[in-house]
Amino acid sequence: MILKLMNEFESDLMSYSPNPSISVDAQNNVVREALMHPHIFSKNGSLGEATPMTMGIVFSGGPAPGGHDVLCGILSHLRPNDRLIGFCNGPGGLLKGQYKEIFKQDMQLIEGLGGFDFLGTDRTKISTDDQFSRVQEVVKSLGIRVLIVVGGDDSNTNALFLSDVLYGMCNVIGVPKTIDGDLVMDPYLPITFGFHTATQHYASLVQQLFIDAVATRKYWHVVKLMGRAASHVTLEVANQVCPNACLLSEEILQKKWGFIEVVDYFSTVIIDRLAAGKPYGVIIFPEGIVDVVPELNAYVDGNVDPINHALASIGARPISLPEVSEDSHGNKNMSFLDTETIFIDAIYAYLNHQGSSDSSIQMLAHFFGYTGRSENPSSFDSLYSLLLGKTAYELALSNITGVIVGCEFSSKTVRPLGIPLLSMVTFDDQRQRYVIQKQLVSHTSTNFQLYLKNKASWVQQDIGFPRKEVFEIPNRVHLDYLNEELIE
């Protein structure tokens, strides 16, 4: 069935034309005016069968499983005189003109392999006039007619601005990637590549910890999961594994909780299980928690007083200032923060403080992050990335610019799309510029509602038999049927 869908998909693509219902401008046309370019994302007639095309491609931001399959999707479509130039080491490498030509035979090397290491990547933001001129020079000197940017929200913001700067010289097309799953636009872009594999990887690791904890009955595993502002990764893993305690950033924001409330929640679950004769269990939370717990946020920003004040109130030892770096888009590197250890120290102190300390409580800290980005793609991500690559190529042939590849799933069709990047940007008051906003976990989403409904029952739960199959995706973007088809 999936192959049938892919065949239909290929024939649909040839007749691709933008869907007027999604070719919407950002609110009040304001971005269009700011960009001063009325033709962005317009379709300018196809390039024509005979015109050879030189395409450039750059990986941007954090790696995600499926990037190499995007390359394969493009390579599989290249006509004899087309060329694919891969820029090395991300947008920074593009600015330096670092590149290598990618050939069809490279597919054998990279097909189905995780990570972004074939080309490399970085997080350079392209925003200054000098940088734009530099990209123009590089693109011109290599005769690149289409530049494909494989990235998340920040990288595709780059792509939008580049499409304006390069208008008439080179078309720009974005491909949606990120394990964080926060670059979505329902129903045209329901998922980024990489999310499925990474969550499958983390769910499997957390489940293994849980199995070990139940067998040995002596440890609490406190697990921080990768995922910056949005908690989609942790939500997905929670629904898969049913940990004894979990908090999402969006949930903490809604409850307006501070550090002590978070510690109180984790400690209460530990006490409740202890009362049931279970001095063990699993706690998970997203690394993005530092953004929403005020004391941790102040700590990241260099003010250690609020967190130390909170720790002192429960008799926990103070902590010293961390060095937290920031990328050129202004994102803090959260993976540097040892929140899992901070929470463990605070929980021990809190249990002591409450007089409920018990020497049988032993906690171990874990962080699951970078490995999920270089895991080999799941069958879904592999196929999806291939489709995204093929769509990017077809959009390139359609001579369209300023779009990101989308894909609408239904139980009967997989419909490839180009979504105007402009329709995804809003003005960010904090950063004082136009950006594609990260999509946080919606409180009304099926996944979040499922999580809320089941969470209380997870407190006393132990993983048992029959073992819950990781990884069925409950109600998520119609992937279930794809998985089923793949297994057939």
Q: Report the catalytic residues.
A: 180
CB contact at 8 A, 150 and 404: no
- Minimum CB distance to ligand FBP, residue 362 (Å): 28
Q: 37 or 373: whose CB is closer to ligand FBP?
A: 373
H/E stretch holding 435? strand 433-436
Nearest residue by C-beta to ligand FBP? 61
**Euclidean distance between CA atoms 101 and 116, whole angstroms:** 16
In one-letter notation, the amino acid at residue 355 is G
**178 near ligand FBP, judged by CB under 6 A:** yes
Torsion of CA 261, 263, 269, 270, to 10 degrees: -160
Residue with tokens 């050879």: 52
Q: Which of 226-234, 302-310, 392-400, 445-453 is the region at the interface with ligand FBP (rule: CB under 6 A)? A: 226-234
- Minimum CB distance to ligand FBP, residue 159 (Å): 13
First-to-final CA distance of the chain: 9
Q: 106 or 180: whose CB is closer to ligand FBP?
A: 180
CB contact at 8 A, 229 and 440: yes
CB contact at 8 A, 152 and 180: yes
Torsion of CA 207, 211, 217, 222, to 10 degrees: -20
Determine how many CB atoms are found less than 10 A away from the CB of residue 320.
Answer: 6
Q: Which of 220-228, 248-256, 307-315, 427-435 is the region at the interface with ligand FBP (rule: CB under 6 A)? A: 220-228
**Euclidean distance between CA atoms 198 and 369, whole angstroms:** 9
- Minimum CB distance to ligand FBP, residue 76 (Å): 24
Q: What's the chain's Rg over C-alpha atoms?
A: 24
**243 near ligand FBP, judged by CB under 6 A:** no
Q: 173 or 226: whose CB is closer to ligand FBP?
A: 226
**329 near ligand FBP, judged by CB under 6 A:** no
Q: 183 or 419: whose CB is closer to ligand FBP?
A: 183
**Site residues for ligand FBP, window 129-168 (CB under 6 A)?**
152
Q: 19 or 328: whose CB is closer to ligand FBP?
A: 328
Q: Which of 32-40, 90-98, 333-341, 477-485 is the region at the interface with ligand FBP (rule: CB under 6 A)? A: 333-341
DSSP type of residue 103: -
CB contact at 8 A, 448 and 476: no
**226 near ligand FBP, judged by CB under 6 A:** yes
**180 near ligand FBP, judged by CB under 6 A:** yes
H/E stretch holding 390? helix 379-397
Among 73, 90, 176, 227, binds ligand FBP (CB under 6 A): 227
**Site residues for ligand FBP, window 257-316 (CB under 6 A)?**
287
**437 near ligand FBP, judged by CB under 6 A:** no
- Minimum CB distance to ligand FBP, residue 434 (Å): 18
Q: 18 or 286: whose CB is closer to ligand FBP?
A: 286
- Minimum CB distance to ligand FBP, residue 335 (Å): 5
Beta-strand (E) ranges in 181-275? Answer: 220-225, 245-246
- Minimum CB distance to ligand FBP, residue 95 (Å): 18
The site that binds ligand FBP (CB under 6 A) totals a number of residues, namely 16
- Minimum CB distance to ligand FBP, residue 175 (Å): 12
Note every long-range contact of 81-86, with CB atoms under 8 Å and residues 24 or more positions apart, other chains counting: 81/52, 82/52, 82/53, 82/54, 82/55, 83/52, 83/53, 83/54, 83/55, 84/54, 84/55, 84/56, 84/57, 85/54, 85/55, 85/56, 85/57, 85/142, 85/144, 86/56, 86/57, 86/58, 86/118, 86/119
**179 near ligand FBP, judged by CB under 6 A:** yes
**Site residues for ligand FBP, window 339-398 (CB under 6 A)?**
373
**335 near ligand FBP, judged by CB under 6 A:** yes
* Tokens coding 157: 């913001």
Q: Which of 237-245, 252-260, 275-283, 329-337 is the region at the interface with ligand FBP (rule: CB under 6 A)? A: 329-337
3 state DSSP class of 456: helix
How many CA within 13 A on the CB side of residue 399? 12
**333 near ligand FBP, judged by CB under 6 A:** yes
- Minimum CB distance to ligand FBP, residue 75 (Å): 23
Binding string, 29-68, against ligand FBP, x = CB under 6 A?
A: --------------------------------xx-x----
Q: 125 or 273: whose CB is closer to ligand FBP?
A: 125
Determine how many CB atoms are found less than 10 A away from the CB of residue 445.
Answer: 15
- Minimum CB distance to ligand FBP, residue 286 (Å): 9
**415 near ligand FBP, judged by CB under 6 A:** no
CB contact at 8 A, 208 and 282: no
User: Which residues contact ligand FBP (rule: CB under 6 A)?
Assistant: 61-62, 64, 123, 152, 178-180, 226-228, 287, 333-335, 373
